[in-house]
Structure 1
């Protein structure tokens, strides 16, 4: 019987391996992003014609294969390296039309004070319905002059070891619920751990931040001498109320029942992706089973909040953007389509929609 050794097997296989030759790598398909070709070097937004459109002409993106392309204009503050860009407008053609009032809100959100001007960075994100990654184009810097809207709505978020995100400024920090009639008044009812907290205006940034030095009023600091924390003496459910017009705040034990929780809470309505046919589930948190959030694209229309995918428990109100829902209340109006961060509190029915 003939036995093949390991060496003899190798000798037999070597000619076969040599005959195969080099293995060719798959070809690399070049891709080209979309650049801004034509746009105003300075954009001055006036309130009187804030509904007028501003045109951006961009170059075609090339994914290396024939495909549909959606061009989305994005903006961020100068030097932020597009860490948290905001979408301004989209188009299926290389002409992107931007409403002045939309750009005004985006510019103010990115640090251009109302009524002032400053540089912002713009870029184009090209995407396709095919299973291909989006292509990001080069950056263009444009000076934008904003107008002072009649009402600038400030958003406040919790941070601190007494809260769910801890001392992390971008960790699903719960939003305070702004009063629909007094934009300086904010209320938050929920669970706080023993510790302390502060308030932030912009997620991912430590300034501006609000705290207290005297235990009765808050002050803001956008750099330098920071205010002290707001202490929470013991874990429990509290109602925190603050009025930024005079800085007065209070932290009082919550005076209502806290034992009713729900397996799910969702949004439903003509403004949602599922219409009135089905709820879109929100995200809940073990830290406080009464607080819910979702980021959703809404159309102009109405929404409500409801529990456990059923109409037995639902909340509504007649105030857009923010308010306090009641059981079986009216539909909540959504006056403008957009992408929104939505927070809801099933403890007291309060809600807030924050445009992204």
Structure 2
């Protein structure tokens, strides 16, 4: 009886495999019948965008449905490029699933135009078309485009913060005040507090707030204080000294004018081969949490520091190691955070802009500078 059961099981298994193979071979090939075409707005329409209306709809874009030989779910992408462009660097205004219309906000249309080179206050021509994608089929695009004129506003995100940078022979920039100087990570809940944990060479350093300028500056005072040099004509303060090369944590408070400089034990710190940024802010939808993250660039001076320049959307994001969720870092505050000052396991709030992003895998500190060109 046991042998009969084994034979019957083997027969059913072979039959199941055969059926699966037949299903694959007989699966219908999805072919295009008709491409989607824009029907609204009309070509030559002009938009004068105002920041006061940023959250309002600029317009509703409508297109015909793509048609295929099979009943399928169609993903649509509404894309915009400079007039006469080839759409290889187009901005995606919105994505839908089997829906042939979508409203685009003033803010989204304005930012897309700026990303494509629009100068605020000066009208610029753009082409708009729609792309349809289905599983198992070749993407299809509008045969024709509509051309619209957009007069943008600045679109800059408010960034009312003062940043401080390291300068000196103990730092990556040397005594050059405009040489990709390392910024101090700013507190997310108290913007008067700053912190940096990282590698220093033996030597000296000071702090400057404007790259390319020597004032304002902070230097070393007595009894754990910092001394300000507000103008170039003011006396040059003393430098902070690093007696032995290694990792240190430097903190300062520009309100209390206090600082600390202590060694940091980095010998047990993990050395990551990849750090990436992930989240809904990458695409403007929750789909940004899936798939690969966007890899950052590791510093050659300090292998625990990472940078990335990226255009982000309204949404949230965080950092993770090795393109996996085994190790990740987040935060509760926009633009900046360090431990006890906004860094956490939460999702970082992001507003749409182009950012320069900096991250420190030693303590989860991050800085996100908006309004990049």
Gapped runs of 5+ residues in structure 1? 1-38, 40-48, 54-65, 76-87, 106-151
TM-score (norm 1): 0.59
- Trace 1:95-244 onto structure 2 (pairs within 5 A): 95-98=150-153, 102=156, 152-214=160-222, 216-218=224-226, 219-225=228-234, 226-244=236-254
Residue 367 of structure 2 aligns to a residue in which SS? strand
For 1:258 and 1:194, the matched residues in 2 are separated by 22
For 1:328 and 1:213, the matched residues in 2 are separated by 33
**Structure 1 residue 196: Cα displacement:** 0.9
Contact 1:188/1:240 (CA < 8 Å) preserved in 2?
Answer: yes
For 1:268 and 1:289, the matched residues in 2 are separated by 20
For 1:95 and 1:285, the matched residues in 2 are separated by 39
**Structure 1 residue 91: Cα displacement:** 7.3
For 1:90 and 1:246, the matched residues in 2 are separated by 49
Cα 1:104–1:262 shift into 2, 3 Å: closer
For 2:195 and 2:179, the matched residues in 1 are separated by 20
Cα 1:327–1:317 shift into 2, 3 Å: closer
- Tell me the equivalent position of 1:280: 294
**Structure 1 residue 213: Cα displacement:** 4.2
What do the CA deviations read for 1:265-291 (whole angstroms, capped 9, x no partner)?
111111125822211111112221111
- Tell me the equivalent position of 2:303: 289
Q: CA RMSD in A?
A: 3.4
For 2:330 and 2:264, the matched residues in 1 are separated by 22
Asked if 1:344 is matched to 2:359, the reply is yes
**Structure 1 residue 352: Cα displacement:** 1.3
**Structure 1 residue 220: Cα displacement:** 3.4
- Tell me the equivalent position of 2:258: 248
Contact 1:180/1:323 (CA < 8 Å) preserved in 2?
Answer: yes
Contact 1:296/1:340 (CA < 8 Å) preserved in 2?
Answer: yes
For 1:90 and 1:265, the matched residues in 2 are separated by 38
For 2:205 and 2:124, the matched residues in 1 are separated by 39
Cα 1:163–1:52 shift into 2, 3 Å: same
For 1:299 and 1:349, the matched residues in 2 are separated by 22
- Tell me the equivalent position of 1:331: 347
For 2:190 and 2:212, the matched residues in 1 are separated by 26
**Structure 1 residue 209: Cα displacement:** 2.4
Cα 1:94–1:211 shift into 2, 3 Å: farther
For 2:120 and 2:157, the matched residues in 1 are separated by 10
For 1:171 and 1:230, the matched residues in 2 are separated by 19
Gapped runs of 5+ residues in structure 2? 1-47, 55-82, 86-112, 127-147
Residue 275 of structure 1 aligns to a residue in which SS? helix
Residue 118 of structure 2 aligns to a residue in which SS? strand
**Structure 1 residue 161: Cα displacement:** 1.0
Contact 1:211/1:228 (CA < 8 Å) preserved in 2?
Answer: yes
For 1:89 and 1:254, the matched residues in 2 are separated by 53
Q: Give 2:274's match in structure 1, choosing from 239, 258, 264.
A: 264
- Tell me the equivalent position of 1:72: 118
Cα 1:308–1:328 shift into 2, 3 Å: farther
Cα 1:95–1:190 shift into 2, 3 Å: same
Residue 98 of structure 1 aligns to a residue in which SS? coil
Contact 2:120/2:154 (CA < 8 Å) preserved in 1?
Answer: no
Q: How many positions carry a matched residue from both structures?
A: 238
TM-score (norm 2): 0.56
Cα 1:162–1:301 shift into 2, 3 Å: same
Normalized per residue, which structure has more helix? 2
For 1:206 and 1:328, the matched residues in 2 are separated by 34
